[in-house]
Amino acid sequence: MIAKSENRFIRLNFITIIVTLLVILAGGIVRSTGSGMGCPDWPKCFDQYIPPTSVKDLPADYKEKYVAGRIKKNEKFAKYLESMGKPELAKSIRHDQSIIVPEEFNSAKSWTEYANRLVGAILGIFLILVAIYSFVYKKTAKRIIVLSILNILIIGYQGWLGSIVVSTNLTQWVVTVHMLLALVILGILIYTYNYAKQLHKERSVIMYRILWLKGFLAFTIIITIAQIVLGTEVRESIDTIAKSLNFGDRNTWVAKVGFVFSWHRDLAILVAVCNFIVYKMVIDRFSGKAWPLMTANYIMVILIIQIATGFILSYLSLPPYAQAIHILFATILFSLQYYLYLLVYRTATYKPSR
């Protein structure tokens, strides 16, 4: 029997997982609409809590002001990279000429980016609440408390990194790290959610060997993460190409990406094959309404949607709505795979007593 206070934590944790996915969706919308620099400063937008709607609301020298601010912040970031033993990265930040190119004001892009930041702030509030409610486990599962507090620290670092994303004018590798940290936050939330749900339950036992499924599922998760990283690299290449063409000739962007897109496409085939194998292994070992089987069914549905949006992006000139959906469902796929792994990890093979 799960106590009411523990049920509250489980529900809040689940809601926070959904909010995290919404943040990732919002980030995808920002990227697909080219709104990443809609607010040239952080955390405010044009030094205002409510974004301006007209260029008349901005100071005459706003371009020079925010470029100077970015240069100052990037110098601090470069010193931080040097302290971590990354002098080449620091040098690339200092000599990146795109950083000193001011963005033209666009009200729609400003509000899109600002909405993304608001959703991120809401996520921060939910993570704080999760950490507070986690203390119900102070006697039974201290790891839930530790991980929930750790997530607050990570979201704080993520917020700072978000400001760096803005100040470096969407420097590619910084955007990739930003995405990976989002997966870390999501992974911790999924772990604490599952651990809290399974805390008072006996370990599942089945008649079949489970070790191969555990190992192959872990491999599939690693491949999926690599695919997400490659997808981020493709998106960054697309951004560079789009800017060089003044966002014209959209139908030529994919062809200009090069080998990174080929790797992303080929790895997508491997991801699909691995997930089909995982699905076959799960249905061979579980039946009825077992959660691993239900989760595997969800994975297949998400995989089909993901493949469909991939085709749309490749052959229909990268429509913005498909880009956002593609990013969201890639993240959902990772989430379901990881949740399935946690369920399978708690499953053992029946060994008859002698």
Domain residue ranges in the chain: 1-201, 203-354
- In this prediction, the residues of the chain whose per-residue pLDDT falls under 70 are 1, 98-99, 165-173, 205, 207-208, 350-354
pLDDT for res 223: 95
Written as one letter, the residue type at 133 is Y
269 contact partners, CB below 8 Å, separation of at least 6: none
**C-alpha to C-alpha distance for 4 and 229, rounded to whole angstroms:** 40
3-state secondary structure at position 246: coil
Other Cβ atoms less than 10 A from the Cβ of 104: the count is 8
Q: Quick check: bond before 43 cis, omega within 30?
A: yes
pLDDT for 171 equals: 60
**Pick among 2.20.28, 3.40.1580, 1.20.120, 2.60.40: CATH of 203-354:** 1.20.120
Alpha-carbon separation of residue 258 from 223, 247, 315 (angstroms): 21, 18, 15
281: tokens are 């292994």
CA dist., res. 69 & res. 72, Å (int): 5
Burial of 159 (0-12, 13-18, 19+ CB in 10 A): middle
pLDDT at 124: 92
Of 188, 316, 341, 209, the closest CA to residue 253 belongs to: 316
CA-CA distances (angstroms) from residue 249 to 58, 103, 285? 32, 21, 51
Q: Return the half-sphere exposure (C-beta side, CA atoms, 13 A cut-off) of residue 288.
A: 3
Cα separation of 172 and 329, whole Å? 22
Q: Is the dihedral of CA 112, 314, 183, 4 positive or negative?
A: positive
The structure's pTM equals 0.87
Q: What is the pLDDT of residues 255-312, one digit of tens each?
A: 788 788 888 888 999 999 999 999 999 998 888 778 999 999 999 999 999 999 988 8
